[in-house]
Chains A and B, each alone.
Chain A
Amino acid sequence: SERYLALCPTTISSSDSAVDSATFVEEQKARTVLRERYIRSLLAMVKKDVHFTMYERVKVNAVFGASDIDILNFQVSDLQTPLGVQKEALIRCPDIISYSFSIDAGLKD
Chain B
Amino acid sequence: MNEWCKKTPLEWQALLHKELKVCAHEKQQHQGWLFTVDPVSANIVLVSFEPDGKASIVTVMGHAVETVEVLNEGSDAISNRLVSLFMPVAPQKHSK
Could you list which residues of chain A lie within 8 angstroms of chain B, going by C-beta atoms?
10-11, 23, 26-27, 30-31, 33-35, 37-38, 40-41, 44-45, 53, 55, 57, 69-71, 93-94, 96-108
**Is the Cβ of B57 less than 8 Å from the Cβ of A100?**
yes
A-B CB contact pairs (8 Å), 16 listed: A11-B8, A30-B12, A31-B9, A34-B9, A34-B13, A34-B37, A37-B36, A38-B45, A44-B85, A44-B86, A57-B26, A97-B28, A101-B57, A102-B56, A105-B55, A106-B53
**Is the Cβ of B38 less than 8 Å from the Cβ of A38?**
yes
Interchain pairs with CB closer than 8 A, number:
118
**Is the Cβ of B57 less than 8 Å from the Cβ of A102?**
yes
Interface status of B2 (Cβ within 8 A of chain A): no
**Is the Cβ of A94 less than 8 Å from the Cβ of B63?**
yes
**Is the Cβ of B45 less than 8 Å from the Cβ of A37?**
yes
Interface status of B96 (Cβ within 8 A of chain A): no
**Is the Cβ of A104 less than 8 Å from the Cβ of B38?**
no
A11-B8, A35-B39 are known; give 7 further A-B pairs, CB within 8 A.
A30-B39, A70-B40, A71-B38, A93-B41, A99-B59, A100-B58, A106-B53
- A4 to chain B minimum Cβ distance, whole angstroms, is 17
B28, B38, B54: most-surrounded residue (chain A CB, <10 A): B38
The size of the chain B interface, using a CB distance under 8 A, is 38
Which of A55, A98, A103 touches B59 (beta carbons < 8 Å)?
A: A98
Q: Report whether over half of chain B's contact residues are helix, strand or loop; otherwise say mixed.
A: mixed
**Is the Cβ of A103 less than 8 Å from the Cβ of B57?**
yes
Residues of B contacting A108 in the complex (Cβ-Cβ under 8 angstroms): 84
With CB as the reference atom, state the residue of chain A lying closest to B83.
A37
**Is the Cβ of A10 less than 8 Å from the Cβ of B61?**
no
7 interchain residue pairs of minimum CB distance:
A37-B36, A38-B38, A30-B9, A105-B55, A71-B41, A30-B13, A31-B9
A11, A96, A100, A108: most-surrounded residue (chain B CB, <10 A): A100
Which of A10, A27, A45, A102 touches B55 (beta carbons < 8 Å)?
A: A102
